[in-house]
A and B are shown apart, each in its own frame.
Chain A
């Protein structure tokens, strides 16, 4: 049953995954909470691991969520689920619509689609900030230090242009020093 839920979730997601892996985070989060596969905190850990490995974030997250929810078969089924729409559409486009990226209607479509992709990622950021207690009414060491880590991470990414991988690793070391 879990395997079918995993396949269905990631197969549908595969058809809508425009504009990079982070767009899919709200969809993965919705499925994970609806089916009760894991907590939001654990999902954030999974996304962190997905970002630390090579490969697309969305596919990596699917594999990790699949493994956590359904073991080895879960990982395989989730990966097949998210890859199948891509391969089907690539073959269809390559066979019939090879000039699709020059089509004016496709351009108009992406004109509206790209801003929505940005909204989806902003929405994901808000949801994750809430579920990881980053936005908190309590004013103590824990909440202030988390905000500080968030701010410094964003600074390192935007201004210092560090690779996300290094930011994640350094943040992990800071976490060990501060919270253990």
Chain B
């Protein structure tokens, strides 16, 4: 019993230390996970870590949180998953909450308001940048281009969650129709499949 608590605390503490480096996306954690979990603690192999990050993308939610939970689950079951999730979330929760409190105290400051006028224009640029990055990995052929182009105007009329489900459904239908008429579809751009090899991929995807 005591041993189990010790393991859970170790899982929690490992992710607690890794968490503050997750600037601009969960993939930034990979080198540290390699160091802490593969080399130091020997809880998992390098292949396991790659596998976990691939698996994390199929589950909704942030890659940082999903991959931590998957790794925690492999080491210590459901409790391990919870310990890892708490560990990875707590530091950033505290930092963000402090920033929020700080903002609420000084948001009336004219200098800060002036700064935010410009920052808001930059945020639109960052969103456009994220869109370009995402489109580059998502658009692999004419069908995916059509889905994206049709998706934008449609979003002005339907709920975003409905759009996400319709997109997934369209994907399944499109692939099965293509199979029936004998088309072979490249599902992914293979050069982009390993995000760890491409630092550029860290931003805009899986944040």
Give me the interface of A with B, judged by CB distance under 8 Å: 12-23, 25-27, 30, 41, 44-60, 63-64, 67-68, 72, 75, 79, 82-83, 85-87, 89-91, 93-94, 98, 100-101, 105-126, 128-129, 132, 134, 146-147, 149-151, 153-154, 157-158, 161, 163-165, 167-168, 171-176, 178-180
Contacts and interface: CB of A to CB of B under 8 A. Distances in A.
Contact of A100 (B58, B65, B205): B58
Contact of A110 (B58, B126, B169): B58
Interface in B87-130: 89, 91-93, 95-97, 99-101, 103-104, 107, 110-111, 113-130
B49 interface: no
A154 B132 CA distance: 11
B115 A173 contact: yes
Contacts of B139: 115, 118
Contact of A134 (B121, B155, B168): B121
A65 to B, nearest CB: 9
A157 B125 CA distance: 8
Nearest to A41: B120
A89 B60 contact: yes
Given A26-B155, A112-B171, A112-B174, A164 B114 contact: no
Contact of A22 (B65, B103, B130, B148): B130
Interface residues of B, number: 107
Given A12-B161, A58-B62, A100 B26 contact: no
Nearest to B22: A54
Contacts of A30: 159-160
Contacts of A13: 161
Contacts, number: 366
B62 A114 contact: no
Nearest to B148: A115
B104 A68 contact: yes
B151 A168 contact: no
A38 B141 CA distance: 40
- Which of A20, A100, A110, A124 has the most CB atoms of chain B within a 10 A radius of its CB? A20
Contacts of B176: 108
7 nearest A-B residue pairs (beta carbon): A112-B171, A119-B151, A175-B118, A116-B167, A55-B92, A56-B62, A86-B61
Contacts of B116: 44-45, 48, 172, 175
A108 B187 contact: yes
A21 to B, nearest CB: 4
A93 B59 contact: yes
B54 A101 contact: yes
A15 B22 contact: no
Contacts of A46: 100
Nearest to B162: A16
Contacts of A110: 58, 168, 171, 187
A167 to B, nearest CB: 6
12 contacts: A16-B164, A44-B120, A45-B120, A48-B116, A49-B103, A55-B93, A59-B89, A89-B59, A90-B70, A112-B169, A167-B126, A176-B115
Contacts of A151: 125
A118 B131 contact: yes
B114 A176 contact: yes
Interface string B134-173: 1101111000110111111011100111011111111111
B175 A108 contact: yes
B44 interface: no
A86 B107 CA distance: 33
